[in-house]
Amino acid sequence: MTDEKKAGPDKAVEQAAVDQSPENAPEHLEEVRAGIEVHAVDERRGMFGVTGPGDTSGYDGLVARVVLPGAAQRPYGGWFDTVADRIDGLIEQVVIHRGEITFHVHRDRLVQVAKLLRDDPSLRFEFLSGVSGVHYPGDKGRELHAVYHFTSYTWNRRIRVETSAPDGDPHVPSLVPLYPAADWHERETWDMFGIVFDGHPALTRILMPDDWPGHPQRKDYPLGGIPVEYKGASIQPPDQRRSYS
C-alpha cells in the first residue's frame, strides 16, 4: 500500500473536523479521532456578522462554525466517575474536554445539584470560584448559558457545572444562598448577558451605569461607535462604515 493510501483515512478524518469547525479544527481533532461527537450550534460570517458591503475589516468572506464538544461516555476515568456517581440522575450530560469535566444540568435542578456538591462528604465542593455567561444565538431554546466553577479544597478537585435558559425566558435560580461568593459574579453575568438570577438579594448593574440599555456581551448587541468628530465627520461603528471594495 502506498504512503498516499495509508494517509487517506487520517486525512479524511482531519478534513471532517475542519469542515465542522474551520476556526477551531486543531482543538477538535482529538475528539473526532476518538469518536467523540461534536456539533455545530451556529455559523458566523464576516468579522462583525454583517451582510452586504458594510464590513470594511477585510474579513467579509470569513465563514466559521461555532462547534461544541458532545457528551462523553462512561467510564470517565478516575475521580470523574466518583463525582458523576453522586449526582447521577440530576445531570443532562457530561462533557470532558481537554482533561476537564463539565456537568450540564437543567436549571430546575441547579440548586439541588449545587447543594449536593457542597454538602456531600464525598464531594465537598466548598468554593464557587466564578459564574460566567455565554450567548449562543444559534442554540435554539438554550441561547443563554450560565457556567459555574466549583473547587473542592478537601479533595483538591475542580469541576464545571453548566445550565441554560432560552432568550424568551432568561431565568436561572441564584446560588447566593448556598455560595455567597456568587453575589457579584451573578450581577456581572446579568449585567453583561441579561441572565436573571431569581432569588439574588440585589441583582443590579455592577459594571455598566444603572441606566445602560441592553447587555453588552450578547452576540446581538450593537457594536456601537466612537462619539468623535473629525472636521465635521463622525466615526461610525465598524459594521456601518462605508465599503471601499
Residue at which a domain ends, from 69, 86, 108: 69
Among candidate residues 27, 54, 69, the one where a domain is terminated: 69
Task: State pTM to two decimals.
Answer: 0.76
Lowest mean pLDDT among 18-27, 104-113, 122-131, 236-245: 18-27
Answer yes or no: do 139 and 163 share one domain: yes
List the domain range (segments joined by +) for residue 52.
1-69
CA nearest to 133, candidates 177, 195, 184: 195
Measured in residues, the chain has a length of 245
* Mean predicted lDDT score pLDDT of the chain: 82
Which percentage of the chain shows pLDDT scores above 70? 71
> How many domains does the chain fold into?
2
Are 83 and 57 part of one and the same domain?
A: no
Contacts of 121 (CB under 8 A, 6+ apart): none
Alpha carbon distance 103, 187 (integer Å): 23
- Is 126 found in the same domain as 59? no
d(CA 186, CA 64): 30
Is there a contact between 215 and 221 (Cβ–Cβ < 8 Å)?
yes
3-50 pLDDT, tens per residue? 444 443 344 434 444 343 333 444 454 544 455 577 788 887 776 655
pLDDT of residue 26: 43
Query: Are 55 and 102 part of one and the same domain?
Result: no
In this predicted structure, the answer to whether residue 94 has a pLDDT above a threshold of 70 is: yes
Same domain, 53 and 84: no
Look at residue 75 and tell me whether its pLDDT is greater than 90: yes
Shared-domain flag, residues 54 and 93: no
Q: Is the pLDDT of residue 170 over 50?
A: yes
Contact 225, 240 (CB under 8 A): yes
Q: Are residues 51 and 141 in the same domain?
A: no
Q: 38 and 100: one domain?
A: no
User: Are 24 and 129 in the same domain?
Assistant: no
Which residue has better confidence, 234 or 65? 65
